[in-house]
Amino acid sequence: MATNTSKELIFLVPADLPSGAYRLEVRARFGKHRRSGQLRDVLMVV
C-alpha cells in the first residue's frame, strides 16, 4: 500500500492474482472500534 488517506487509497495487486471477479473491502481501526466499507462495483482481473 502506498497511500492511505480519507480521500484516496492506492494499493498493489499481486502479480499472480488469478483472473476472476473480486469485491474490495477496506477495514480500519479507530480506537477500539473497527469500520469497514465495500466498493459497490465488482473488480475484474483478466
> What residues does each domain of the chain span?
3-45
Calculate Rg over the CA atoms of the chain.
13
- Residue 20 pLDDT level (bands cut at 50, 70, 90): very high
The pLDDT value recorded for residue 40 is: 95
**Average pLDDT value for the chain:** 87
- CA dist., res. 36 & res. 24, Å (int): 10
Q: What counts of helices (H) and strands (E) characterise the chain?
A: 0, 6
DSSP label at 19? Answer: S
The pLDDT value recorded for residue 24 is: 92
Q: Name the residue with cell 500500500.
A: 1
Q: pTM of the predicted model, to two decimals? A: 0.64
